[in-house]
C-alpha cells in the first residue's frame, strides 16, 4: 500500500467505509495473531458470511502462510463436520450466529480451537476472535514458496464427497494478474460484490479489487433489492456475478440504462447464458455481457468478450496463455463441430485435491485438467457448451450439487427404501435437483421429507420436487436408471439453440 492510498476507501459495508490504511493495520495485527497460534501451512477453516472479517482473514492468511479453507455460511453443521473429518482440519473461525444452534456439537467435536466473532458466553474450545487482534502489528512475512497452497476451496464431487481443491500462491498470482489486465481494473474502479466470498466468483473479484487499490461495496448476499439500490447509488464500473443474479438484477424495476452508465467491465461466470439475459444487457448497455467459463480447479479458461453478436451465447475462446482441447472417449482430439470433453492446460490450474492422490491423478494428466464438461468448437474457433460428462448438477447460481450427496441424506431417513436424484431442466433453462423416492410408510409426504432435508443440508441442495413412487426403474445390473436430462453423449453435437441470439 502506498502512503497516499491510506485514506482511500477500500471497502463499504453496511454503508460504513473502511480505508486502506485501516484495512492494512487490521490485517497486520491479525497476521501476527494467526502466526502466534499456527504454523505456516496450517489448514484454517473459515465459516463466515460475507464480511470485513472474512476479507481480513484471507489477507492475513496469505501474509502468514496459513491456508484458509472457507465454508459457505449456508452449510449445516452435519455438512461441515463431514468436511472437517475428511480434511482433518482442527481449527475454525466462525460467528456467534452460525454456531449458536450447534455449540454443543461443536464443543464435542475434535476441533482443537474455535475463534468466534462477536461471541456470547465462551467456554472451551471457543475463544473470542478479538484476541487475534491484540498482537503487535510488526509482522515479518515468512518466506512463502510460489507452489505452496494459498487456498483450499470446496466443490462438489460426483460421489457425494466434497472435493478440496488446493490452489497455489502462483495460481492466485496468475488469476489476479489476468483480472487486473483484461478487466481494466484501476484505482478508480468500483464494484458491488454480492457473490459469496467463499466461492471463486466472489473471492477472486474481491481480491482483485483490493490488489489494485479499487473500492468494493460488499453485500452479505444477493439481496436483489439491496443490490439494485447500491448499483444506483454507487454507479459501479465493474460487475461480476452468476447468471441468476445478473438476470434478476437487470430485470429489477429500478435498473435502467443510467444505472449501468459507468460500467467498463461486466461478466457472468457460467457455462452458458440465456438469450433473455443477453438481450436485456444489450438493451441497457448497447453491448453484450462477457461470459467466463472455468472451474474451481482452473479459473477463467474460456472467455467470450462479446465482440460478435452472433457468438455472444457461446463460451468464447481460450484466454491468453491457456490451452484448450476437446477429446472423445478414445482420448483423441475431436474435429470441428464434434462434441468432446474439455481439457485445460493453464498456469491457473490447481495443485491437486487435498488428501486424494488418486482423484488428482485421474483429473490431472500430463499437465492437462479433465473438466468433465462437454463442448464443441465451431469453424471460427468459438466453443459452445454441450452438457456434462460428470454426474454433477450446476445450478443457475453457480453452485455445484452432487446427486449422490442428497441421495445419501435421503436414504438416512428410516422410512425411505430407495431414491435417486437427477438434474431436471427448469423453466429458465437451468437445472435443479429432483428426487424420486420409494418408502415403507404411506404417511410420508413431500413436505415431511423437505423439512427433514432442510435440517441436514444447505438450502440450495434441497430438491425442487420430491416425488414418491411405488418403485424406481431398475436396470439389469440392479442399479437405478439415472435419467439426467442435462447430459449429452460425446460425439453428438448440442442443438444449435446456443448458436445465435433468438428473438
Q: What is the pLDDT of residues 32-63, one digit of tens each?
A: 999 999 999 999 999 999 999 999 999 999 99
Radius of gyration of the chain (CA): 23
- Same structural domain for residues 305 and 408? no
In a domain, 492, yes or no: no
Percent of the chain at pLDDT exceeding 70: 92
**Torsion from C-alpha of 207, 211, 216, 220, nearest 10 degrees:** 20
- Same structural domain for residues 312 and 431? no
- Same structural domain for residues 74 and 189? yes
Q: Which of 303, 319, 335 is the last residue of a domain?
A: 319
CATH number of the domain to which 445 belongs:
3.30.300.30
In a domain, 376, yes or no: no
User: CA geometry: angle at 116 spanning 111 and 121, to 5°?
Assistant: 100
- Same structural domain for residues 303 and 424? no
- Same structural domain for residues 305 and 418? no
Q: Which of 319, 349, 380 is the last residue of a domain?
A: 319
CATH number of the domain to which 62 belongs:
3.40.50.12780
Confidence of residue 1 (pLDDT cuts 50, 70, 90): low
- Same structural domain for residues 91 and 229? yes
Strands (E), 283-407: 290-295, 298-304, 317-318, 323-327, 340-345, 352-353, 364-365, 368-377, 383-388, 393-394, 400-401
> Is the separation of the CB atoms in 126 and 96 below 8 Å?
no
**Distance between CA atoms of 104 and 106, rounded to whole angstroms?**
5
Please report the pLDDT score of residue 243 as a whole number.
83
Please report the pLDDT score of residue 257 as a whole number.
97
- Same structural domain for residues 314 and 409? no
- Same structural domain for residues 167 and 47? yes
- Same structural domain for residues 109 and 203? yes
| 346-364 mean pLDDT | 96
In a domain, 431, yes or no: yes
Per the document, the length of the chain is: 503
For residue 112, pLDDT over 50 is answered with yes
Q: Which of 266, 299, 319 is the last residue of a domain?
A: 319
> Is the separation of the CB atoms in 421 and 406 below 8 Å?
yes
pLDDT in tens, 215-270: 999 999 889 999 999 999 999 999 999 887 898 899 999 999 999 999 999 999 87
Q: Residue 97: CB partners within 8 Å, gap ≥ 6?
A: none
- Same structural domain for residues 168 and 56? yes
Cα of 446 vs its chain's centroid, Å: 29
In a domain, 486, yes or no: no
In a domain, 343, yes or no: no
Please report the pLDDT score of residue 103 as a whole number.
87
In a domain, 173, yes or no: yes
Range of the domain at 52: 3-319
**Distance between CA atoms of 145 and 183, rounded to whole angstroms?**
27
Strands (E), 328-426: 340-345, 352-353, 364-365, 368-377, 383-388, 393-394, 400-401, 416-425
Q: Which residue has the cell 455472444?
A: 312
Please report the pLDDT score of residue 492 as a whole number.
38
In a domain, 66, yes or no: yes
Q: Residue 251: CB partners within 8 Å, gap ≥ 6?
A: 280
For the whole model, what pTM was predicted?
A: 0.84
- Same structural domain for residues 56 and 153? yes
Number of domains observed in the structure of the chain: 2
For residue 160, pLDDT over 60 is answered with yes
In a domain, 313, yes or no: yes
Amino acid at each position: 500500500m502506498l502512503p497516499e492510498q491510506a485514506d482511500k476507501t477500500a471497502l463499504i459495508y453496511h454503508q460504513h467505509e473502511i480505508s486502506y490504511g485501516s484495512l492494512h493495520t487490521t490485517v497486520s495485527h491479525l497476521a501476527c495473531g494467526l502466526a502466534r497460534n499456527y504454523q505456516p501451512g496450517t489448514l484454517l477453516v473459515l465459516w463466515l458470511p460475507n464480511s470485513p472479517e472474512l476479507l481480513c482473514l484471507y489477507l492475513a492468511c496469505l501474509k502468514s502462510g496459513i491456508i484458509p479453507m472457507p465454508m459457505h455460511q449456508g452449510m449445516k453443521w452435519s455438512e461441515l463436520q463431514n468436511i472437517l473429518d475428511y480434511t482433518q482440519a482442527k481449527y475454525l473461525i466462525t460467528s456467534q450466529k452460525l454456531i449458536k444452534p450447534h455449540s454443543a456439537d461443536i464443543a464435542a467435536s475434535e476441533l482443537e480451537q474455535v475463534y468466534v466473532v462477536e461471541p456470547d458466553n465462551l467456554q472451551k474450545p471457543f475463544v473470542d476472535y478479538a484476541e487475534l487482534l491484540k498482537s503487535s502489528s510488526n509482522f515479518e512475512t515468512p518466506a512463502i514458496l510460489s507452489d505452496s497452497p494459498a487456498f483450499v476451496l470446496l466443490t462438489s464431487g460426483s460421489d457425494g464427497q466434497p472435493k478440496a481443491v488446493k490452489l497455489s500462491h502462483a495460481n492466485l498470482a496468475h488469476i489476479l494478474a489476468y483480472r487486473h489486465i483484461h478487466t481494466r481494473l484501476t484505482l478508480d474502479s468500483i464494484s458491488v460484490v454480492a457473490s459469496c466470498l467463499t466461492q471463486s466468483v466472489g473471492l477472486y473479484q474481491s481480491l482483485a479489487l483490493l490488489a489494485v487499490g479499487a473500492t468494493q461495496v460488499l453485500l452479505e448476499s444477493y439481496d436483489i433489492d439491496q443490490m439494485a439500490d447500491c448499483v444506483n447509488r454507487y454507479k459501479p464500473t465493474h460487475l461480476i456475478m452468476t447468471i441468476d443474479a445478473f438476470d434478476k438484477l437487470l430485470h429489477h424495476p429500478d435498473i435502467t440504462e443510467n444505472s449501468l452508465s459507468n460500467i467498463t467491465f461486466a461478466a457472468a461466470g457460467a457455462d452458458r447464458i440465456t438469450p433473455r439475459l443477453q438481450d436485456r444487457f444489450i438493451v441497457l448497455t448497447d453491448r453484450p455481457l462477457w461470459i467466463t467459463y472455468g472451474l474451481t480447479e482452473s479459473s477463467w479458461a474460456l472467455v467470450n468478450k462479446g465482440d460478435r453478436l452472433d457468438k455472444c451465447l457461446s463460451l468464447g475462446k481460450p484466454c491468453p496463455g491457456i490451452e484448450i482441447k476437446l477429446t472423445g472417449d478414445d482420448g483423441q482430439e475431436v474435429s470441428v463441430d464434434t462434441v468432446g470433453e474439455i481439457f485445460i492446460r493453464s498456469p491457473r490450474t490447481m495443485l491437486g485435491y487435498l488428501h486424494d492422490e488418486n482423484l488428482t491423478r485421474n483429473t490431472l494428466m500430463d499437465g492437462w485438467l479433465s473438466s468433465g464438461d462437454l463442448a464443441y468448437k465451431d469453424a471460427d474457433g468459438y466453443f459452445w457448451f454441450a452438457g456434462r460428462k460428470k454426474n454433477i448438477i450446476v445450478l443457475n447460481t453457480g453452485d455445484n450439487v452432487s446427486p449422490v450427496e442428497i441421495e445419501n441424506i435421503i436414504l438416512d431417513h428410516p422410512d425411505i427404501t430407495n431414491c435417486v436424484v437427477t438434474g431436471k431442466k427448469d423453466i429458465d433453462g437451468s437445472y435443479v435437483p429432483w428426487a424420486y423416492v420409494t418408502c415403507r410408510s404411506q404417511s410420508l409426504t413431500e413436505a415431511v421429507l423437505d423439512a427433514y432435508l432442510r435440517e441436514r443440508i444447505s438450502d440450495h441442495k434441497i430438491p425442487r420436487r420430491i416425488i414418491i413412487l411405488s418403485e424406481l426403474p431398475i436396470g439389469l445390473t440392479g442399479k437405478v436408471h439415472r435419467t439426467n436430462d442435462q447430459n449429452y453423449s460425446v460425439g453428438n453435437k448440442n442443438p444449435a439453440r446456443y448458436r445465435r441470439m433468438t428473438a
